[in-house]
Structure 1
Amino acid sequence: MLPDLERKLLRILINYSMHRRTMPSVKQMELLTGRSKVDITQGLNDLESKAYIAWPDRKTTSGIQILHDEEDEQLQVPTQDSSNLDYWTYY
């Protein structure tokens, strides 16, 4: 599971790029997260090291590419002989 800042940055990158067709600048991410430039840069570096994003040009955020949009979590699927309660719990 990603830490709060990294998860927030990933959601901002995904939503911003989907709606505006561009990546947000560091200044815009500062406004959206309430964090400093150093924290944002560290969070982006952590996302890149965990292979969620590719960030080839460190001087600008416009070249960031999103590789994975969500964390890979295993969803527990109920078996055939499960009760009705399992349906409402797992779905």
Structure 2
Amino acid sequence: MLSDIERKVLCIVRNFSIMQGRTPTVRELMRKTGRSYHGILEVLDKLAEERYIEWSRKKPNEIVLIQSWETKWTYEKIRPYSS
């Protein structure tokens, strides 16, 4: 399950790519989230690890969106009704 900041960055990347026709740079993500450079890199690492984006620290401004929404849902077990 994604954290709030991971979900927020994924949403920004998706919306930015729709509106601008490209993905945002790390600096643009910093400006939109208020996070530091290092903080954004950590978030992008996690999103890449979870396969939401293709991204490498070697080329930090090259983000490829793979999946633009969170897929892992948690379901609570519901006890069956017993009479």
Q: Identify the residue that residue 39 of structure 1 maps to in structure 2.
A: 39
Structure 1 segments, 4+ long, off by >3 Å, are none
Matched, 1:70 2:75: no
Which 5+ residue runs of structure 1 have no aligned equivalent? 75-91
Alignment of 1:52-63 (within 5 A): 52-56=52-56, 58-61=58-61, 63=62
Shift of 1:58: 3.0
Give 1 or 2 for the bigger CA radius of gyration: 1
Identity level (%): 34
Q: Per residue, is there more strand in 1 or in 2?
A: 2
Q: 1:20 to 1:55 in 2, by over 3 A?
A: same
Q: Is this contact kept in 1: 2:41–2:57, CA < 8 A? A: no
Amino acid at match of 1:48: A
For the residues of structure 1 that align with 2:39 and 2:57, how far apart are their CA atoms?
18
For the residues of structure 2 that align with 1:29 and 1:10, how far apart are their CA atoms?
10
Count matched residues: 74
TM-score of the superposed pair, with normalisation by structure 1 = 0.72
Alpha-carbon RMSD: 1.9
Q: Identify the residue that residue 87 of structure 1 maps to in structure 2.
A: none
TM-score of the superposed pair, with normalisation by structure 2 = 0.78
For the residues of structure 2 that align with 1:25 and 1:64, how far apart are their CA atoms?
8
Q: Does 1 or 2 have the higher relative contact order (CA < 8 Å, sep 6+)?
A: 2
